[in-house]
Chain A
């Protein structure tokens, strides 16, 4: 692991209107790490992710990407270094799957240049990674929700950013693709040293794939640390307002609603 953290937050306050979502957050995200953000609906997971992406200024505190203040990054350079998978995809106009994935190449292509053969090859490799080779010329609006989500993941892969911020990456996906998608990002972290932040709802997936977890508990409070420390039945039961029971099988922990 390299010495420079990919993403560094110090005393970060995130708030919407007057409501504090997260107060005084300190976070070191290093290359190769997968951090899961968990918490109830509306607790501020997406807003925090957008703030980490540099798309919305924090109320207070500092955010640093690769040693440089996030706000100081020129937009296009920033787009080469961090990618964000939005929670839902909007398609206002018809577009082929290939063209939609090539959108991820935008920051890498000069203003006066067009997508090169290499860019198309990168897009095709990204489609292969989400098992959508052969869908290149399909219209995105004719795809199912899960297929559309995988196209969005492919576009994010084509962006080739060292920091991947994922807002509910496995929403709409069948169970097999949920596991494969999370395995893909765990592999990207492990093998390519990318830093991944993912908003996840399934606590068992967090236990299985994440290195660390950030639990938002409301009122600006948070718990962050290694997954096994943060994910404890008691604190989770309080955070999700429902009693959770811990099961163990084959050395692995699982949470089920009691």
Chain B
């Protein structure tokens, strides 16, 4: 087709190839996460200096500062970072699965199910591991319910999944309201904190960290298939992607990641919605970059939010979910309008 005038400036193949490679993004995000981690360990009622942090990190004994960092701040920081990563990764996966940039990890009712489980446990006075198991069971039950109901004609279309998830969420919301209405005064505060998301009670950060690592590894070989899935089932199928199996894997993976996050820190909103969206606006929709970058950015965001949650009105603490929402809403609206 030569009769048409060529475009005035043709980008060279070399420039185009270089433009597609964004090798600096992940190292930069990793650096940011490291900085947020150092900050989270350093600030609080007892300030820890950089020198002391170095001493603790290299295995030295830093006295009381060492105890505070190791037994209080480190587990909490790990939990917040891991859950931020889990939620952002799950959000990015859900957005591909539902082919909707406004989907978030909770849209399929998983956090609703976890909330019902957790609040039921609190209602009967359970705490600790029992509460976490109950929340996890609730998340799995919601997940199974949505997946079972959305199955029709052998296909789980995005619309069907989304609608089923929204309805199950609404049902869980009603159940949560019911439990809050019949709960005793003294258990009410704990329930509300759980619902708003709270990293202070996270007791097993190792689980969240391990699941996040496993999730990222599981995503790596699927990322290019996911790029195609994001372009539509038809496109993906023509190009050899096993669409039905991939959708199932992504659904189960995203649900499991969400369930672990919700079980660990309660329902923290907006991280799973805002972070993948920001990364997509900044670096494009290539899942090979988007998924790990979302996990790192989500970890950094929730870590910073949790650090702020325990310091801005110290000695009192804010539920971290309130902060993520307060930060997330304006940032999201600003970016949405800027890119219009």
| A binding-site residues for B, Cβ under 8 Å | 53, 55, 74-80, 83-84, 86, 90-96, 98-100, 103-104, 106-107, 109, 111-112, 114-115, 117, 120-121, 124, 129-131, 133-137, 159, 176-177, 180, 184
Contact = CB atoms under 8 A, between A and B. Distances in A.
A137 B240 contact: no
A145 B318 CA distance: 50
Contacts of B242: 75
Interface of B: 1, 3-4, 6-11, 13, 16-17, 19-20, 99-101, 221, 224, 227-228, 230-232, 234-235, 237-242, 280, 284-286, 288
A74 B1 CA distance: 35
B135 to A, nearest CB: 32
Contact of A79 (B19, B20, B238, B284): B238
A92 B16 contact: no
A115 B223 CA distance: 13
A137 B1 contact: no
A137 B284 CA distance: 12
Nearest to B222: A111
Contact of B238 (A83, A92, A100, A114): A83
A86 B235 contact: yes
A256 B9 CA distance: 43
Contacts of B1: 129-131, 177, 180, 184
B20 A120 contact: yes
B17 A117 contact: yes
Can you list the 4 inter-chain pairs with the closest CB atoms, starting with the nearest? Answer: A134-B7, A79-B240, A76-B240, A75-B240
Nearest to B339: A94
A120 B4 CA distance: 23
Contacts of A95: 231, 284-285
Nearest to A150: B1
A93 B92 CA distance: 12
A79 B239 contact: yes
B281 to A, nearest CB: 8
Contact of B284 (A91, A92, A99, A106): A99
Nearest to A130: B1
Nearest to A74: B240
20 contacts: A55-B237, A75-B237, A75-B241, A83-B238, A86-B235, A91-B231, A93-B99, A95-B284, A99-B284, A103-B228, A103-B231, A103-B239, A106-B228, A106-B240, A124-B13, A131-B4, A134-B6, A134-B7, A137-B16, A176-B4
A135 B7 contact: yes
A67 B266 CA distance: 57
A106 B13 contact: no
Contacts of A79: 238-240
Nearest to B14: A117
Contacts of A75: 237, 240-242
